[in-house]
Amino acid sequence: MFDKNVVRRRRAALAVFVGLSLVLITAYFGESPGGVLHSLQKGTQEVLAPIESGTSKALKPLRDLFGWFGDTLDAKGENEKLRREVEQLRADLAETQTAKRDAAQLRGLVDLRDHEGYPQGTRPVTARVIARSPTVWYSSIKIDKGSNDGIEVNQPVVAAGGLAGKVTRVTGGTAEVTLITDASSAVSAQVMPNGALGVVRAQLGQPEDLLLDHIEEDRRVTKGTTVVTSGFVSARVESIFPRGIPIGKVTEVDFDEVDLYARVHIRPFADPRNIDYVQVLTRKPAPTEQAGVLVP
């Protein structure tokens, strides 16, 4: 229980304080700027100003620290947002570039079939490259189609531009293709338009420079001419490729005065470094379909 006298004294003191406050406020606003109360206020401000300034300076590092933390958190949030945007842009760019590359190669396969002299009557099966040789990248590739799709060993394989190789191993859902740039490869070929015959072989370690050997010197071959598969069978090599598939373009001709043969350098149309899609020719044309030439 509160003492009633104490309560009464507190109420009286509060009333006196309120009254004095009202009197001082009235007097302050009623006196001139040079009055006593105004002078007292000015003096108090002058006395407290250094204290306020010192307190502000003392607290400035703390305010700066809190500001630094806030700015850092904002910057981190902005950086994270920008990082996500960059990653998304990179993914979109990669997807666009991949789609553009795939479209170019598939269009190249379609254009190849319109090449003059290209063998008609084949049944191409389009496949995607899923692996490359782990040791020599221009030696062989693996594709995502196999015997379940009608693919068999020794079937020709073409890529955008021209001949890529032949099937050398088959499973139900995949197949391995040995490229014409592999050192073991050999293709019976013909130079157009003069019809000079030879055998295209790869040079070890030089996939961009194939050799067409055993060209008779009297069958002149010129730079820039096209070499295609001949479809012929000879004592040196048996062609498994139908006649007319483009192989490459002649870049240089060297004559051997001793053997009276020329070595023709060829740059392949199908770049082994950039093959992503191929077509396997699952049916070889009948002899009457090979540009009117009967092949043994």
- For 243-294, the pLDDT digits (tens) are 899 999 999 887 766 555 677 899 999 988 889 999 999 976 655 444 434 3
pLDDT at 172 over 60: yes
Residue 223 lies in a domain: yes
Q: Is the CB of residue 246 less than 8 Å from the CB of residue 162?
A: yes
Residue 259 lies in a domain: yes
- Assign 33 a pLDDT band (cuts: 50, 70, 90): low
Range of the domain at 268: 124-286
Mean pLDDT throughout 63-90? 73
Q: What is the pLDDT of residue 179?
A: 95
- For 119-147, the pLDDT digits (tens) are 888 889 999 999 988 777 789 999 999 99
Residue 29 lies in a domain: no
- Cα separations in angstroms, 78 against 67, 71, 172: 16, 10, 52
Q: What is the pLDDT of residue 142?
A: 95
Residues 6+ apart with CB under 8 A from 96: none
Q: What is the pLDDT of residue 146?
A: 95
pLDDT at 198 over 60: yes
Residue 145 lies in a domain: yes
Rg (CA), the chain: 45
DSSP secondary structure code for residue 222 in this structure? -
Q: Identify the residue with better confidence: 150 or 35.
A: 150
Mean pLDDT of the chain: 77
Structure-token match 């000015």, residue found: 42
Q: What is the pLDDT of residue 6?
A: 64
Q: What is the pLDDT of residue 90?
A: 79
Q: What is the pLDDT of residue 138?
A: 82
Residue 184 lies in a domain: yes
Residue 15 lies in a domain: no
Residue 158 lies in a domain: yes
Q: Identify the residue with better confidence: 205 or 227.
A: 227
Report the range of poorest mean pLDDT among 29-38, 158-167, 226-235, 271-280: 29-38
Q: What is the pLDDT of residue 254?
A: 78
Q: Is the CB of residue 209 less than 8 Å from the CB of residue 254?
A: no
For residue 144, give the CATH number of its domain.
Answer: 2.40.10.340
Q: Is the CB of residue 213 less than 8 Å from the CB of residue 261?
A: yes
- Cα separations in angstroms, 108 against 160, 176, 237, 278: 4, 22, 29, 10
- Assign 169 a pLDDT band (cuts: 50, 70, 90): very high
- Give Cα 90 to chain centroid, integer Å: 9
What domain count does the chain have? 1
Candidate ranges 40-54, 86-100, 164-178, 211-225; pick with highest mean pLDDT: 164-178
Residue 235 lies in a domain: yes
Report the range of poorest mean pLDDT among 51-55, 153-157, 166-170: 51-55
pLDDT at 95 over 50: yes
